[in-house]
Amino acid sequence: MAPQPLSTLKAMARCFAILAFLLFLTGSTWGKAAFLPPAELTRKADVIALVDLDEPEAVATSDPLESPSPAGYYRKKAQARVVERIRGDIPDRFVIYGDEAFICAQCTLSKGRFLAFLTRKGDFWVGTNWHLSLRPIKGDQVEWGAADSPTWHFVFRKKDEVIAEIRAWLAKVPNR
């Protein structure tokens, strides 16, 4: 007995829809740019510090697909000075690399004071999680997630309140 053509088309359409849905769900896990919630960003960072960045300067780069070193991935670098350490060990003065060649996910460098979440990649200090890595500071406030939100709903909050929140999260995480 041959299947009905209409029922075959419906079954194929259902299979295709299910397959497309599953590919959609798993596709996001293959991407390079994961945007971590505040507590996870805090947990993953090697260093958390308040830093002053000088005006960024261009880095001589090669094609990032051909470069054997991380230098090919970063288009800018900036001199940084530590104002206050919250977690980790980092020199008082260091260079941070950013403005990655991967345009969908960049740690954009600019002059100013930031709450920095940094990771060591070889000889390079880079942002832990793209554009979330350098949180701007204005006066006594830092751009951070709203207190009642587990995700990134950005608001300017008192710097001391944000640092206390970060330290509370760090108290729950084993030392690295």
User: Whose structure tokens read 């970060």?
Assistant: 166
CA distance 137 to 39: 19
In a domain, 106, yes or no: yes
Q: How confident is the model at residue 52 (pLDDT cuts 50, 70, 90)?
A: very high
Which comes out higher in pLDDT, residue 165 or 149? 165
**Which three-class secondary structure state does DSSP give residue 111?**
coil
CA distance 80 to 95: 6
In a domain, 115, yes or no: yes
In a domain, 4, yes or no: no
In a domain, 162, yes or no: yes
Question: What's residue 80's pLDDT?
Answer: 98
Range with lowest mean pLDDT among 27-31, 83-87, 146-150: 27-31
In a domain, 30, yes or no: no
**pTM: predicted TM-score of the whole model, two decimal places:** 0.76
CATH number assigned to the domain comprising residue 130: 2.40.50.120
What 75-79 contacts at long range (C-beta under 8 Å, 24+ apart), as own/partner pairs, is: 75/99, 75/100, 75/101, 76/109, 77/109, 78/53, 78/54, 78/109, 78/111, 79/53, 79/54
In a domain, 57, yes or no: yes
In a domain, 137, yes or no: yes
Determine the structural domain holding residue 74 and report its residue range: 38-171
In a domain, 5, yes or no: no
| 88-121 residue pLDDT tens | 999 999 999 999 877 778 899 999 999 999 999 8
- Give the number of other CB atoms < 10 A from CB of residue 88: 16
How many domains is the chain partitioned into structurally?
1
CA distance 153 to 146: 6
